[in-house]
Amino acid sequence: MTWHVAEEDLRAYAQGELAAPMLWSADTHLTACAECRARLAAVGDPVALDAGWERLDAELDAPRPGLLEGLLLRLGVAGHTARLLTATPVLRRSWLLAVAFVLGLTVLAVYLVDEPALFLALAPLLPLAGVALSYGPGLDPTYEIAVVAPMHGFRLLMVRTVAVLTAGLVLNGLATLALPEYGLLALTWLLPALALTATGLALMPRLGPVLAPVLVGGAWLTLLALAKRHTHGTLVPFTTAGQSAAAALAVLAALLLFQARDRFDARPTGGFADGGAA
Amino acid sequence: MTTGPLNDPASGPTTVSATGLTLRYGGTRALDAVSLELTRGVTGLLGPNGAGKTSLLRVLATAVPPDSGAFTVLGHDPSTTKGRLAARRTLGYLPQTPGFHPDFTAFAFVDYVAILKELTDRAARHREVRRVLEAVDLEDVRGKRIKRLSGGMRQRVALAAALVGDPEFLVLDEPTVGLDPEQRMRFRELVAEAGEGRTVLLSTHQTEDVAMLCHRVVVLTHGRVRFDGTPAELTARAAGRVWVSAQRDPGALAGWRTGTGTFRNIGEPPTGADLLEPTLEDGYLLALDGESTEVTA
């Protein structure tokens, strides 16, 4: 053992005052290190020590955080929020790899045909799809349990949306870095991405978790197809006017979404996995 | 039966009360003006497939709002935002097909459900998760991934998740399906234990579950309540209406050849018939009244 819990941390630990994440490191270390346990016994008063042992005991059972959960904890995300995020289906490594793969292919295609619109059309759809897939009966196996849990459905949705959106935007951003020759134009997916995601979510309580994002995605592709027909230069959504419209839509949809927040709780957004009543 | 004399469930106060619950989906009425009152102890909900058992449990568990009708859970009205939240805080729900994150361990899964139930303090939550895993006898496999557990163990993990946070109202949707007799017996013990001091609504199509566990039974067909009373009352309905004959009796509502070669019939017996002691199953079949042909649970 090369590392030991510092004297003052041990004292704080014994008094129950050591804060996370140091607390967890100390918990984990103490289970394995007899030397530190002996030192802990020396610094602590017996009552606080008992509480410490009890916590240690509970710690022995605690699931060891996975890669993603560990990362979130290190970023300062609260433990319970990190666990909620870990259960988000689309944050699994396989999903993220699939998204990265699609983005890679698209960037390659942009290089081959010198057509940035390919990337700009796809990039806003990925966060929309990710968010749509992270809350609903289709992919969340514990959906029915989550629906009746006291935690507000909207809160769970937002926690996951923020996480999925962040992951999606980071991946998109990395792809953008691979397209430096297009300058700022390569970043014009960002506002449409926010607009599509917010609109898809705002329509979800009314149209369900499948129809809402499909309609929004379809509308986006239709808009691009129409723009392609009528313009030869930069497509409308990626011009200043288009970007302003996207920003306005994102804000409007976010407001509508907030207003409809209780509807995510009152009624499941789209049946159950077995096709039962909703 | 399983409830002690100290809290005689039949006379206890009403904890869950529903009137006129109706739920439609597609063109069918899954629930048709269902009214019932639950008290503490285990109430069994019997009915053939498609009778509306799951729909009723989903409504009472606040997973789906009814199209019409009203209900309260421990005095809370789930049709309001506040009441729904209050009702959900008293609720433990084991859905018919409880989903799992297969990569979670038993501990992590129950821990996750505990978080959804607003137990955010890490140490207190972990204590509670350990308590319920011990209660369902899974403390030895708590670190195992759920995909490595047997069907019976998974069902117990789901029960532990329903029990976490010590809910006062437990809704269990066919929890004994797919369990072998020994697992079923063990599971019944757990449900009986859970029913002490709690309101438990257990849907099943095993009349044995009801006979062994429930102080009360509700029979549902076509979304309607056909019977509501004690298991003894349901059995008594078949008194004088079960008889044995050497040949299939065409007048019987249902009849089958038993292992001894004679026929066991239920329905209106012919005069002079050789009557048998009825079972709960006989009473149940009579309550269904030949409405459904698929009554052999």
A241 touches chain B (CB under 8 A): no
Q: List chain A residues with CB under 8 Å of B101.
A: 87, 141-142
Mutate which of A17, A80, A154, A269 to test chain B, going by most B C-beta atoms within 10 A? A80
For B92-156, the DSSP string reads EEE-SS----TTSBHHHHHHHHHHHTT---HHHHHHHHHHHHHHTT-GGGTTSBGGGS-HHHHHH
| Average pLDDT over chain A, rounded to an integer | 82
Compute the distance between CA of residue B94 and CA of residue B116 in angstroms, rounded to an integer: 14
Centroid of chain to Cα A156: 11
pLDDT value for A278: 38
Instruction: Provide ipTM, 2 decimals.
Output: 0.81
> Residue A124 has what DSSP assignment?
T
CB atoms A83 and B108 under 8 Å: yes
Structure confidence by residue, pLDDT tens digits, A97-130: 878 888 888 888 888 888 888 888 898 998 888 8
Tens of pLDDT along chain B (297 residues)?
A: 444 444 444 558 999 999 999 999 877 889 999 999 999 999 999 999 889 999 999 999 999 899 999 999 999 999 998 999 999 999 999 998 888 887 788 998 999 999 999 998 888 898 999 999 988 888 888 888 888 998 888 989 999 999 999 999 999 999 888 788 888 888 899 899 989 889 999 999 889 999 999 999 999 999 999 999 999 999 999 999 999 988 888 888 888 888 888 989 998 888 888 898 999 999 998 888 754 433 333
pLDDT value for B4: 43
Is B19 or A231 the better-scoring residue by pLDDT? B19
Q: Which residues contact B91 (CB under 8 A, 6 or more apart)?
A: A148, B61, B62, B73, B167, B169, B170, B171
A148 touches chain B (CB under 8 A): yes
Compute the distance between CA of residue A269 and CA of residue B79 in angstroms, rounded to an integer: 17
A16 touches chain B (CB under 8 A): no
Section A37-51 average pLDDT: 71
pLDDT value for B297: 35
> Residue A181 has what DSSP assignment?
G
User: What are the C-alpha distances in Å from B115 to residues A85, A147, B97?
Assistant: 11, 13, 21
Please tell me which of the candidates B30, B117, B122 has its beta carbon nearest to residue A149: B117
In this prediction the pTM is: 0.79
pLDDT value for A207: 86
Burial of A18 (0-12, 13-18, 19+ CB in 10 A): buried
pLDDT value for A49: 62
- Range with the poorest average pLDDT among A59-63, A205-209, B179-183: A59-63
pLDDT value for A222: 94
Q: Which of A9-18, A32-41, B19-28, B178-187 shows the highest mean pLDDT?
A: B19-28
Helices (H), B21-105: 53-60, 81-89
Coil vs helix vs strand at B264: strand
